[in-house]
Amino acid sequence: MSRTWNFAAGPAAMPDEVLRQAQAELLEWRDARASVMEISHRGQAFMALAAEIEADLRALAGIPPHYKVLFLQGGATLQFPLLAMNLARPGQRADYVLSGHWGDKAAREAAPYVEVHIAADARASGYAALPPRADWQLDPQAAYVHYTPNETIHGLEFHQVPQVGDVPLVADFSSSILSAPVDINRFGMIYAGAQKNIGPSGLTLVIVREDLLARATRPMAAIFRYAEHAAQDSMLNTPNTFGWYLAGLTFQWIARHGGLVAMAARNGRKADTLYAAIDGSGGFYRNPVAPGARSRMNVPFFLVDPALDGRFLAEAEEIGLLALKGHRALGGMRASLYNAMPQEGVDALVDFMCDFQRRHG
List the catalytic residue out of 196, 244, 270, 325: 196
C-beta of 83 vs 316, nearer to ligand PMP = 83
The reply on whether position 243 binds ligand PMP by CB under 6 A is no
Is 29 tagged catalytic? no
Integer-rounded Cα radius of gyration of the chain: 21
To the nearest whole angstrom, how small is the minimum distance from the Cβ of residue 279 to ligand PMP?
Answer: 25
The reply on whether position 193 binds ligand PMP by CB under 6 A is yes
The reply on whether position 75 binds ligand PMP by CB under 6 A is yes
Q: In 10 A of CB 138, how many CB atoms?
A: 18
The reply on whether position 157 binds ligand PMP by CB under 6 A is no
The 3 state secondary structure assigned to the chain is CCCCEECCCCCCCCCHHHHHHHHHCCCCCCCCCCCHHHCCCCCHHHHHHHHHHHHHHHHHHCCCCCEEEEEECCHHHHHHHHHHHHHCCCCCEEEEEECCHHHHHHHHHHCCCCEEEEEEECHHHCCCCCCCHHHCCCCCCCCCEEECCEECCCCEECCCCCCCCCCCEEEECCCCCCCCCCCHHHCCEEEEECCCCCCCCCCEEEEEEHHHHHHCCCCCCHHHCHHHHHHCCCCCCCCCHHHHHHHHHHHHHHHHCCHHHHHHHHHHHHHHHHHHHHHCCCCCEECCCCHHHECCCEEEEEECCHHHHHHHHHHHHHCCEECCECCCCCCCEEEECCCCCCHHHHHHHHHHHHHHHHHHC
The reply on whether position 95 binds ligand PMP by CB under 6 A is no
The reply on whether position 171 binds ligand PMP by CB under 6 A is no
C-beta of 77 vs 125, nearer to ligand PMP = 77
C-beta of 105 vs 133, nearer to ligand PMP = 105
Question: What track of x and - describes contact with ligand PMP for positions 273 through 312 (by CB under 6 A)?
Answer: ----------------------------------------
Residue of 8, 13, 61, 76 that binds ligand PMP (CB under 6 A)? 76
The reply on whether position 96 binds ligand PMP by CB under 6 A is no
The reply on whether position 172 binds ligand PMP by CB under 6 A is yes
To the nearest whole angstrom, how small is the minimum distance from the Cβ of residue 324 to ligand PMP?
Answer: 16
The reply on whether position 152 binds ligand PMP by CB under 6 A is yes
Name the residue with the smallest CB distance to ligand PMP: 75
Select from 14-22, 131-139, 168-176, 230-238 the region that touches ligand PMP (CB under 6 A): 168-176
The reply on whether position 6 binds ligand PMP by CB under 6 A is no
**Which residues 44-63 are close enough to bind ligand PMP by CB under 6 A?**
none
Catalytic residues: 102, 172, 196
Q: List interacting residues with ligand PMP (CB under 6 A).
A: 10, 75-77, 102, 148, 152, 172, 174-175, 193
